Amino acid sequence: MQMLDFIDTEQDRKLILKEYRSLLLACDRNFSRQDKKLIREAFKMAAEAHKDMRRKSGEPYITHPINVAKIVAGEIGLGPTAIACALLHDTVEDTEITLDDIEAYFGPKVAEIIDGLTKINQVFDLKSSFQAENFRKLLLTLAKDVRVILIKIADRLHNMRTMDSMPRNKQLKIASETLYLYAPLAHRLGLYAIKSELEDLSLKYTEPETYKSIARKLQQTKRERTRYINEFIKPIVAELDREKVKYKILGRPKSIHSIYEKMKKKNVEFEEVYDLFAIRIIVDAPPEEEKAECWKVYSIVTDFYQPNPGRLRDWISTPKSNGYESLHTTVMGPKGRWVEVQIRTERMDEIAEKGFAAHWKYKEGSSESALDDWLQKIRELLKNPESNALDFMDDFKLNLFSKEIYVFTPNGDLKILPSGATALDFAYEIHTDIGNKCIGAKVNHKLMPISQKLSNGDQVEIITSRKQKPSEDWLNFVVTSRARSRIKHALKEERKKVASEGREILERKFKQLKLAFNHENLEVLCQYFGVENTIDLYFNVAQKRYPLNEIKKLKDAGSNHLVLPKKEEIAVPRKKQQSIKKGDELLIFGESSDKISYQFAKCCNPIPGDNVFGFINLNGEIKIHRTNCPNAVHLMSKYGYRVVKTRWNREKEIAFLTGLTIRGLDDVGVINKLTNVISGEMKINMRAMSIDSHDGVFEGNIKLYVHDTGELEKLIHKLKNLKGIYSITRFDIKEEEE
């Protein structure tokens, strides 16, 4: 290919050409000659710009943008402009090409999208997260063009698919960030297949053993599942054919991540997760007959199998706010097994698979949809320039709830809110002023407090008062980002009013002490009283939190300046930490742990053999966490630059405290059987044991000392082989329990 003359080796040229051809195959066949030219020119510019760059895996770097463009074209279904932007997405950040070059060659729209995809280069507060700032910039561009976020999701998906050659700490950081933001974002934009893959890949890197175990078991049970699906659908297929319904049936396993979440939530083993797969019936029906056809199929399915009345989900009559439409039911299949059945049309299935892109394709000038409303909320959230990037990310994440409730105004207008939303959230959903003045609500005609959690189908009337104003307590129970940002804004405005009073008080005090009311003196006072800015200083002065007489002590004799007192050397006692004997059980930065000061995190109590990472806190201390710690995703996604590469060496010199919860039949001598295995066979020391039994079933908590996860797994295996034992799970022992 002539346009690849600048690529050095024939091998690289062949590989790049092969990837480019597969991209063209993924593109819509109806693209015009002009569309194809745009993609070709973007490819040529990107290939030349990246010609001397390689990925960590050793491949030419251009293969990454090509694969991102392939996802954008084939898996999301976007058009030529987005495909060209995907090819060019790293050029401005990583090469000599500028935004001006892009605009001159491809026009302002492509330049605008590339700008949104280009990371921030300026230096800012290291206490914040680089990714938080980048993400905020991305969303600012989303306010103008949603393709930015879709290309970013495609970029993240390809990076996750090709992360094997990266170092472990980078894998952990990127996987946690993906789980924290990009998977929920893909879900919110209706990209269900991509969301599931991002979650699975995140689990593959955060908990590799768990991922491999579930994947292996799914593979082992594949043949049995296929037999069962064929048996299940046989009578349904016969009836659908008799009724001359145009359909196709798919049977697919649930994602590895969703199975893992179910195992965790219900505290069960893989074998005890009953709904490992879902049956999907896709109907070919014209728009005016869609609803009737889907309910007809539902009727046929429930003629053969008894439905679970609590598991019917009708997202056809009321679609989800991301445009998702489908009918879900769970029925009792052969051999007493629950089976989830999803019923939808071809159009609904395309929206479910390709999300936002398909939503626009089918919108055809219809009125504002719930998805448009959501985008409008994002734009509103971005209008608050004062919020800290991490606060912004938290607030934004509140908009990514997967579960929703449908609530009505007194006039019968429908409002979609996240599950757990309160009457106050509803008030802010109607209007900021109504939220700010809200004093209560009538929920289904009964008077309720503003903190009342709402349920599906509630009718809500808001009661207001001119005297009411937002309080800091409100932030403890609202859940929508709209309510949180409005309350924070109102509190800031109120704080500014109070601060202006504090400023006047301070000015009078300075005048009395013959001090200059200038930036230098105020900076000294901020440091002395331990506040970050003058607004906080003025506010605390107005609230009479500082003894203003102390200012006199800071006055530099014979001048109008303030000076800080000299700091005395303070001996800070070192915190008690669990010691490791020599033999380097833990390696931090590749160094033995006796050279580096660290502590075990009390939130997850790691033991040797656990997958761990180090995290540097604000005091410069290193805390060791398990990768599946409840706080891990939050820490690694927001503060990835503080994550430290850490691993265990296999040596058994010290025992660590951990806990097991054991459930089983309350049989005679059960405690004796357990202690025989733990103390007798395994020679493991127990610290405490508590057993509670009810209706012939017992549950016991045992705290014991083990050397590493290998020893713990061996013990669990032996205990599970005892007759009458149902399940064994590990629990974390918190600091206060020790």
Residues 654 and 670: their CA atoms lie apart, in Å, by: 29
Q: Say whether 364 is catalytic.
A: no
Residues 290 and 77: their CA atoms lie apart, in Å, by: 23
Residue 414 bridge partners (DSSP)? 408
Q: Could you tell me if 189 and 149 are in contact, meaning their C-beta atoms sit under 8 angstroms apart? A: yes
Q: How far is CA 27 from CA 30, 52, 188, 286, 580, in A?
A: 9, 27, 25, 26, 58
Written as six digits, the tokens of 372 are: 């448009």
User: What separation, in Å, do the N-terminal and C-terminal C-alpha atoms of the chain show?
Assistant: 69
> Residues near 458 by Cβ (< 8 Å), separated by ≥ 6?
405, 407, 408, 443, 444
Q: Could you tell me if 668 and 696 are in contact, meaning their C-beta atoms sit under 8 angstroms apart? A: no
Q: Which of 93, 100, 373, 507 is catalytic?
A: 93
Token pair 């410069």: residue: 620
Token pair 């398909």: residue: 358
DSSP 385: T
Q: Could you tell me if 684 and 705 are in contact, meaning their C-beta atoms sit under 8 angstroms apart? A: yes
What is the residue-wise DSSP string for 60-121?
BTTHHHHHHHHIIIIII---HHHHHHHHHTTHHHHSS--HHHHHHHH-HHHHHHHHHHSPP-
Radius of gyration of the chain (CA): 30
Q: H helices within 167-207, ranges in order?
A: 168-177, 183-188, 192-206
Using DSSP, state whether 253 is helix, strand or coil: strand
Q: Say whether 340 is catalytic.
A: no
Amino acid at 63: T
Least Cα distance to 689 among 679, 678, 680, 702 occurs for 702
> Residues near 275 by Cβ (< 8 Å), separated by ≥ 6?
254, 330, 338, 339, 340
Written as six digits, the tokens of 63 are: 């293969």
Q: Which of 94, 346, 353, 651 is catalytic?
A: 94
Q: How many CB atoms lie within 10 A of CB 239?
A: 15
Catalytic residues: 93-94
